[in-house]
Amino acid sequence: MEHSSIPSTQPTAIEKVIAFIDERVGLKQMQAKMLNEPVPGGSRWAYVFGSVLLFIFIMQALTGILLMFYYVPTADHAYASTQYIIHDVDYGWFLLSYHFWGSTAMVVCVFAHMSQVFLWGAYKSPREMIWLVGLALFGIVMGFGFTGYLLPWDQRAYWATTVGVEIMDKTPLLGDFMARFLKGGPTPGQMTLSRFFVIHVMILPAALMGLAGLHLFLFRAAGPAGPFRGTPEEIKAKTDYFFPRQIWKDIVGMAVVFASICALAFWEPVVLLEEATPDPGDYHPEPEWYFLFLFQLLRLKIFAGEFGQFLGAIALPGAFMALLAALPFIDRDPERNIFKRPVALIGWIVVMVTILLFTVSAIINREFLD
């Protein structure tokens, strides 16, 4: 009778299973470690981009896998199989368009994420390695974009690849080898499609998963940087855990991105151009919008000729990336407040305005061509 006075509820079957696993792998401690990470200065909307990028990637992987159920990566079937996905497979148009707009969302969020880290001064010591791995991830995202749009094998695909690989060809010493290696021959064809396909669906996803894991590991090892303003007492007073407030903001961010991608997929579904062929017909080749500024840059007279082209297509972007990589080692001032870092603030504005101006002028140029 003593026992019945204690409200001893028997564990349910699910609780037993969870207890069984927990006993063996330390599930609850793992969950606690994942969720109970102090966010110095408290959760913020500005911190959502990392989680949102992870979400976008998972959705790209999911939609990408689904597309492969029908897509055939051969020069004589790629175009037809993509058209089949768009026109005949139930919701094929939606999944393909989601994948397409998802890549755009990825690039937008990468820009936002990098800008946030840059403006917050979060790349500084001891977070240099997170920044470096982040730059590699940025390269992988660009690689995804570049290899992805060859796959439908339409005119846009063909010409963007032709020009893109010709640009790579301008790399000193290794350029010719790299370009031929990527094309699998002297000009784009079946071998190019096969190679881009393998890179897009195997090599880049594996690289991204590994590096994103490393990125997170390094982030956890260093801890979040927190806000750049406030005394330690103020920051401590506002500190909360990753769960629930930051996760709540993250999931809202994901929902907004998901809804936006769905809306774009719905209102601007992917439409293929003519099938790829070395005769462009009336098509005016143009890369995806996030490469437009580079494309417009190469129209400039100062980047004319063989050397100018090397300067504009290889040296300038290469130097910019090298500068970004060297940034945490050059900028050793522990000051993180962006309003006390005039060079960094002006630099960021200049880069953003330049990209915007070149992109807009590329769009204006379109009208003169038609």
* Residue 317 contacts another protein per CB under 8 A: no
CB of 248 closer than 8 Å to CB of 49: no
Cis peptide bond N-terminal to 269, omega within 30: no
* Residue 334 contacts another protein per CB under 8 A: no
* Residue 220 contacts another protein per CB under 8 A: yes
Cis peptide bond N-terminal to 244, omega within 30: yes
Give the residue with the Cβ less far from another protein, 168 or 265.
Answer: 168
How far is C-alpha 26 from the geometric centre of its chain's CA atoms? Answer: 33
In the chain, the largest separation of any two C-alpha atoms, in whole Å, equals: 96
From 25, 221, 322, 353, residue interacting with another protein (rule: CB under 8 A): 221
Give the residue with the Cβ less far from another protein, 300 or 321.
Answer: 300
Give the residue with the Cβ less far from another protein, 334 or 342.
Answer: 334
**H/E element, 201:** none
CB of 192 closer than 8 Å to CB of 182: yes
Among 167, 170, 173, 191, which Cα is nearest to 181's?
A: 191
From 18, 22, 27, 38, residue interacting with another protein (rule: CB under 8 A): 38
Q: How far is the CB of 92 from another protein (least distance, A)?
A: 25
Mapped onto helix, strand or coil, the DSSP state of residue 38 is strand
* Residue 228 contacts another protein per CB under 8 A: no
- Tell me the number of residues near another protein by CB under 8 A: 60
Interacting residues with another protein between 296 and 315 (CB under 8 A)? 298-301, 303-306, 308-309
338 Rama class: left (phi>0) / alpha (psi -120 to 50) / beta: alpha
Give the residue with the Cβ less far from another protein, 16 or 236.
Answer: 236
CB of 49 closer than 8 Å to CB of 109: yes
* Binding site residues, another protein, CB under 8 A: 29, 32-34, 36-38, 40, 74-76, 159, 162-163, 166-167, 169-170, 176-177, 180-181, 183-187, 189-191, 220-223, 232, 235-236, 239, 241, 277-281, 284-286, 295, 298-301, 303-306, 308-309, 365, 369
